[in-house]
Amino acid sequence: MDVKIEESWKTQLSSQFEQPYFQQLVQFVRAEYAAGTCYPPGSLIFNAFHATPFENVKVVILGQDPYHDEGQAHGLCFSVNDGVAFPPSLQNIFKEIQQETGAPIPASGNLTRWAHQGVLLLNSLLTVRAHQAGSHQGHGWEQFTDAVISRLNEGREHLVFLLWGSYAIKKGALIDRTRHLVLTSAHPSPLSSYRGFFGNRHFILCNEYLIQHGKQPILW
């Protein structure tokens, strides 16, 4: 199956594209997009991979599924297009960065600037039906993104994984902590941010680890 995904990722994930689960997933996603509004736009489903090729990845931030309101999702977890109001979780991410680093809250919630520095902004599910959070669960995306994390775990060294909330933390079982740094905390959602997201120092700890291993820190 010829999946339109960035070439380095196509090489790393080629075995997935021929598996029955992935072919069923493609059929499901095509049917969903044909039947009604889904996000992100079809051309941006694999945007995270295009923005951050395999060999460029330094940090992985794992979300759950794309934003499901109009104009928000563009294939990078937690990120929104220029000019779109910040969703609450993204507001809290920026607040924590400001608290840790003193950096001002940016004018745009578009995190492409992080992706180009090596931050893979990966949702566990890459598509969603409009206004129905979690509507594409259980159709194969979870298996696909498990494979993404496994390839990074095996094929790269000294990556930083930022896992926020129980859903993301479960994916941490795929990661060898002797080779990579795994940082976990509560989710930045207003429902949980005060239970350990605020004050987690993940952005500073991440950069300290990258510097320790000879990599450029992220300009958050």
Active site residues: 65
Amino acid at 22: F
Q: Which residue has the tokens 């923005």?
A: 51
Q: Which residue has the tokens 């598509």?
A: 127
- Which two structure tokens, joined as six digits, stand for 75? 């294939």
DSSP 3-state of 89: helix
40: preceding bond cis by omega (within 30 degrees)? yes
For the chain, what is the radius of gyration of the CA atoms? 17
Q: How many of the other CB atoms lie within 10 Å of CB of 173?
A: 8
- Adjacent-strand bridge partners of 162: 61, 183
Q: What whole-number distance in Å separates Cα of residue 147 and Cα of residue 143?
A: 6
The CA-atom distances, in angstroms, between 147 and each of 21, 77, 175, 191, 196 are: 12, 17, 11, 30, 28
Count the alpha carbons within 13 Å of 55 in the hemisphere toward its beta carbon.
Answer: 3
Q: Which residue has the tokens 């931050």?
A: 119
